[in-house]
């Protein structure tokens, strides 16, 4: 684990709890993005991000570096928070059920963006949830296979396989979408 | 097993990955949100006051593993505490005229000091946020209080896009339906809790008498003992953290001495067998009895605190859940002993009762922690009170202090939420200034939120409006001249 992080955690665990804000500063953007990619809803992402860091602060004394990195720990908390949330509010959380309503004045630009976003979610909803999770973690969260393995508790080999399967599935289902996007880009 | 890679042509994986990456969504990350959450975490960290942590740091663990001829931290802390307790007795017996000293006082006292003694009550964060928002009459002034304002640090285009990408959000309008407000005082007494016990130097002198082996601690000058932690080295033992700077004692599990079989689980089925079932939860009466017994056993006085109650917020969520089998039942139940000043409730900034909280483990039915136990020495200083009932009601209808409920805008029609006649209380505020933390208790009106809304949103239980004029400054609560909707 990162030496600097180790030192910050040691400070927290020895009573200097305000040092936790240094960990927060390092991770807040990553965790917010991680949640947003799975909820596509800003307010929800903010609420859940708050929950993640409050839980992390509450439990920092229980963190044990020998069991894994802080990064793995905080991503695991995030994942659990999203899962808990989806159990209660499935309508918001499932990307497959995501819908959005354009409201702004710039209709052309909005249509372009909305279509892009909708198509991305269309691509992703073709994937099984666990595969989708791996693809998003790898591509958008930019986590290494090692990090993903630690968070989801699967082997790197199986994750690589899942990732490749995901891409193959995308290839099969998204070819039309890619063409459409390319066409739209040319138009605009 | 078929390798899916074989179905992808050369570079296709990279191309698809790049394409996906290119369409990575704009997450509309808000710097204001980040600053607000950071502030909340910092406040909570301060409230823990260097407690609720593991018994000792990893560095100290390593240090202890050296097994050198040195005093371990635990031993040192124990000896220090023993000495702190024993020393005054010895002093009293063998040094006539020296009175035994308490490290922390258990009594309640309020000492009046001159007006405005605690400085401007607006916290630095409030002022900075205002400054960052570019105030001057604009509607973005309320970044702390109106969570749904557009992020003022983002440019308009991005802001518009983010709004476009959000799920349509229901908004609400508070409507006051209580009695007319009367008897608003032009002076309000704000309390500040005194942290430093004044005996830290004496405690520091005692610690100096012990050799640390690695350093001659006696050479350091004007030492004060700021905090120490002791652990019970027994099964189901506790960790006791004492912060002499803030006069706060916290008790938590000595994690290593409590069984945590679920920690070794590698599979979901293993983990599931240790999950708490709702049938295993102690009822409220049992939880309160367990907490009462613990306080009595360890000589913790609940004088000055109201009747205990169980924090059952999660049950509302549970009752609404359609998948109760998979609902996460909390591992512990929290019993709150609410702080009461002069018969009036004290609420934290989130509107929850402030006071001693005792966690009771749902499975073992044992107390796992006691937090919020602090000395009750206060100073009292008068500040200018807000006497305009109209302004107070406007602010209440705008959500008051720290409201999270999305309020209606000029463009949206909100669901009506009724506010009832308020009661007097206090709101606890943490003020950070030049590295110092002040714990303040400000007189406030607490407006009960009545009823439920049909869309199932969790409404706050109350809306809090502080009664000190400077906390209701127009720059913090910009109120429009007309109309029931104040913000945006």
Q: What's the rounded mean pLDDT across residues B432-449?
A: 85
- Verify whether the Cβ–Cβ distance A36 to B266 is below 8 Å: no
Is the pLDDT at B424 greater than 80? The verdict is yes
CA distance B346 to B305: 10
Tens digits of residue pLDDT in B397-420:
988 876 667 777 767 777 888 999
Average pLDDT for chain B? 72
CB atoms within 10 A of CB B329: 16
Is the pLDDT at B256 greater than 60? The verdict is yes
Res. B78 pLDDT band, cuts 50 70 90? very low
CA distance A181 to B196: 65
Q: Which residues of B touch A40 (CB under 8 A)?
A: 25, 165, 167
pLDDT, residue A92, reads 40
Chain A closest-CA separation from residue B54 CA (Å)? 4
Q: Which residue has the higher pLDDT, B58 or B306?
A: B306
- Verify whether the Cβ–Cβ distance A24 to B229 is below 8 Å: no
pLDDT, residue A119, reads 64
pLDDT, residue B137, reads 29
Q: Which residues of A touch B30 (CB under 8 A)?
A: 42, 46
The 3-class secondary structure across A35-47, one letter per residue, is HHHHHCCHHHHHH
Tens digits of residue pLDDT in A8-37:
888 888 778 888 988 998 999 999 999 988
Q: Are A18 and A77 in contact (CB under 8 A)?
A: no
CA distance B281 to B303: 28
Q: Which residues of A touch B57 (CB under 8 A)?
A: 10-11, 13-14
pLDDT, residue B475, reads 53
Q: Which residues of A touch B50 (CB under 8 A)?
A: 15-17
Res. B37 pLDDT band, cuts 50 70 90? confident
Out of A157-161, B26-30, B164-168, B406-410, the most confident range is A157-161
Beta strands in B113-237 (DSSP E): 172-176, 187-193, 227-231
Provide the residue ranges of all domains of chain B, joining segments of one domain with +: 4-94, 128-192+380-473, 225-243+248-374
Q: What's the rounded mean pLDDT across residues B160-171?
A: 47
CB-based contacts of A168: which residues, under 8 Å, 6+ apart? B4, B7, B8
- Verify whether the Cβ–Cβ distance B164 to A110 is below 8 Å: yes
The verdict on A92 touching B (C-beta cutoff 8 Å) is yes
Q: What's the rounded mean pLDDT across residues B267-275?
A: 81
Q: Are A132 and A162 in contact (CB under 8 A)?
A: no
**Cα angle at B58 between B55 and B64, to 5 degrees?**
85
Q: Which residue has the higher pLDDT, A108 or B202?
A: B202
Res. B72 pLDDT band, cuts 50 70 90? very low
Mean pLDDT by 10 residues, chain A (188 residues): 79 83 91 88 86 89 81 89 71 39 36 55 75 85 85 82 81 60 47
Is the pLDDT at B95 greater than 60? The verdict is no
Q: What's the rounded mean pLDDT across residues B293-305?
A: 88
Q: Are B428 and B365 in contact (CB under 8 A)?
A: no
Q: Range with the lowest mean pLDDT among B150-159, B282-291, B314-323?
A: B150-159
Is the pLDDT at B5 greater than 50? The verdict is no
- Name the token pair of B31: 């710097």
Res. B99 pLDDT band, cuts 50 70 90? very low
- Verify whether the Cβ–Cβ distance A88 to B255 is below 8 Å: no
pLDDT, residue B384, reads 95
pLDDT, residue B440, reads 92
Q: What's the rounded mean pLDDT across residues B336-354?
A: 86
Q: Which residues of A touch B49 (CB under 8 A)?
A: 17
CA distance A57 to B53: 10
DSSP one-letter code for B292: H
Q: Range with the lowest mean pLDDT among B152-166, B236-250, B316-330?
A: B152-166
| Closest among B348, B445, B430, B457 to B396, alpha carbons compared | B445
List % helix, strand, coil for chain A (3-state, nearest 5). Answer: 80, 0, 20
ipTM rounded to 2 decimals = 0.75
Chain B closest-CA separation from residue A128 CA (Å)? 15
Chain A to chain B, count of Cβ pairs less than 8 Å apart? 182
Q: Which of residues 145-174 of A touch B (CB under 8 A)?
A: 153, 161, 164-165, 167-168, 170-171
Checking B288-297 for CB contacts under 8 A at 24+ apart, the result is B288/B335, B290/B335, B290/B360, B290/B365, B290/B366, B290/B367, B291/B335, B291/B337, B291/B358, B291/B360, B291/B367, B294/B358, B294/B367, B294/B370, B295/B356, B295/B358, B295/B370
Chain A closest-CA separation from residue B192 CA (Å)? 21
- Verify whether the Cβ–Cβ distance A20 to B227 is below 8 Å: no
pLDDT, residue B40, reads 81
Q: Which residue has the higher pLDDT, B156 or B128?
A: B128
Chain B closest-CA separation from residue A129 CA (Å)? 17
Chain A closest-CA separation from residue B41 CA (Å)? 7
Is the pLDDT at B485 greater than 70? The verdict is no
pLDDT, residue B266, reads 80
């Amino acid at each position: 684990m990162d030496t600097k992080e180790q030192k910050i955690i040691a400070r927290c665990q020895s009573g200097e709890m305000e040092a936790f804000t240094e960990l927060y500063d390092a991770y807040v953007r990553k965790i917010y993005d991680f949640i947003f990619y799975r909820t596509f809803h800003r307010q929800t992402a903010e609420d859940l991000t708050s929950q993640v860091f409050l839980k992390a602060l509450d439990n920092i004394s229980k963190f044990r570096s020998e069991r894994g990195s802080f990064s793995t720990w905080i991503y695991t908390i995030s994942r659990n928070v999203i899962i808990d949330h989806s159990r209660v509010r499935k309508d918001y959380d499932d990307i497959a059920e995501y819908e959005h309503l354009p409201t702004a004045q710039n209709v052309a630009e909005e249509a372009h963006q909305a279509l892009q976003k909708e198509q991305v979610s269309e691509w992703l909803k073709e994937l099984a949830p666990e595969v989708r999770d791996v693809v998003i973690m790898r591509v958008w969260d930019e986590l290494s296979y090692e990090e993903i393995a630690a968070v989801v508790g699967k082997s790197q080999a199986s994750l690589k396989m899942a990732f490749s399967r995901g891409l193959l599935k995308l290839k099969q289902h998204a070819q039309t979408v890619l063409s459409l996007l390319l066409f739209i880009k040319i138009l605009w | 097993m078929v390798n899916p890679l074989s179905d992808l042509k050369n570079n296709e994986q990279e191309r698809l990955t790049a394409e996906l990456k290119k369409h990575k969504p704009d997450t509309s990350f808000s710097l204001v949100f980040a600053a607000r959450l950071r502030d909340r975490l910092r406040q909570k960290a301060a409230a823990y006051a260097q407690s609720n942590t593991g018994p000792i740091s990893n560095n100290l663990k390593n240090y202890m593993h050296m097994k050198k001829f040195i005093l371990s931290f635990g031993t040192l802390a124990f000896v220090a505490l023993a000495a702190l307790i024993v020393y005054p007795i010895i002093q009293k017996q063998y040094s006539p005229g020296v009175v035994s000293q308490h490290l922390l006082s258990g009594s309640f006292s309020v000492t009046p000091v001159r007006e405005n003694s605690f400085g401007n009550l607006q916290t630095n964060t409030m002022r900075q946020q205002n400054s960052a928002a570019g105030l001057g009459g604009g509607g973005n002034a309320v970044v702390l209080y109106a969570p749904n304002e557009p992020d003022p640090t983002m440019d308009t285009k991005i802001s518009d896009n983010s709004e476009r990408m959000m799920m349509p959000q229901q908004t609400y309008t508070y409507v006051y339906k209580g009695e007319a407000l009367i008897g608003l005082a032009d002076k309000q007494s704000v309390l500040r809790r005194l942290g430093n016990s004044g005996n830290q130097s004496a405690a520091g002198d005692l610690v100096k008498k012990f050799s640390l082996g690695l350093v001659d601690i006696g050479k350091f000058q004007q030492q004060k003992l700021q905090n120490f932690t002791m652990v019970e080295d027994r099964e189901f033992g506790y960790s006791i953290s004492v912060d002499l700077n803030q006069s706060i004692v916290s008790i938590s599990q000595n994690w290593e001495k409590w069984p945590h079989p679920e920690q070794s689980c590698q599979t979901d089925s293993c983990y599931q067998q240790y999950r708490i079932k709702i049938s295993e939860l102690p009822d409220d009466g049992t939880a309160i009895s367990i907490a009462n017994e613990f306080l009595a056993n360890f000589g913790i006085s609940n004088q000055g605190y109201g009747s205990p109650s169980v924090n059952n917020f999660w049950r509302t969520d549970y009752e609404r859940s359609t998948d109760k089998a998979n609902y996460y039942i909390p591992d512990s139940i929290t019993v709150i002993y609410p702080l009461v000043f002069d018969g009036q409730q004290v609420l934290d900034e989130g509107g929850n009762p402030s006071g001693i909280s005792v966690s009771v483990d749902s499975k073992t039915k044992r107390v796992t922690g006691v937090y919020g136990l602090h000395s009750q020495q206060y100073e009292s200083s008068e500040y200018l009170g807000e006497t305009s009932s109209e302004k107070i009601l406007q602010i209440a209808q705008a959500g008051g202090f720290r409201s999270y409920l999305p309020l209606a805008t000029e463009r949206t029609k909100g669901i009506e939420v009724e506010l009832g006649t308020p009661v007097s209380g206090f709101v606890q505020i943490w003020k950070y200034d030049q590295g110092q933390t002040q714990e303040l208790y400000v007189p406030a009106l607490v407006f009960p939120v009545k009823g439920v809304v049909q869309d199932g949103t969790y409404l706050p239980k109350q809306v809090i409006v502080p009664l000190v004029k400077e906390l209701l400054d127009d720059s913090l609560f910009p109120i429009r001249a007309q109309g029931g909707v104040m913000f945006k």
